[in-house]
Structure 1
Amino acid sequence: MLKQRDLLDTQGHPKTEAFEIAINTVSADSSSLCKELWTHSNECEICSQRANEALKKAYGE
């Protein structure tokens, strides 16, 4: 799903934009995107940082 929506960087990691979309969009489509992103971010330091950046942007510090 991330690849189809051009939300991966050149190394195959989800872009911060992907996390922002997942946080700010409520739909069936974003539900599976959220699950995919958060599962991956729990296993990957780069994506964990991007998830945190997106959360800070959405909800403040």
Structure 2
Amino acid sequence: MALADGSWMVGDHLVADIGGERATGPRTIWVDQGTWPGHDHDADHAVTDVLQALEILHAER
């Protein structure tokens, strides 16, 4: 699957949303709601709510 340059994945599931997308190319924002304590992540950004994710997306335009 080809993705457009500049694509993003915003998700709250560390494996399905972030891990899977890291393999396909878009940059990632993990909305960490405290459900994955002690797990490392390789998301480009980690936030605690969607408003913070929107701030990142707006800044990256």
TM-score (norm: length of structure 1) = 0.29
Task: Specify the structure having the higher radius of gyration (Cα).
Answer: 2
Which structure has greater strand proportion? 2
Which structure has greater helix proportion? 1
The higher relative CO (CA closer than 8 Å, separation ≥ 6) is in 1
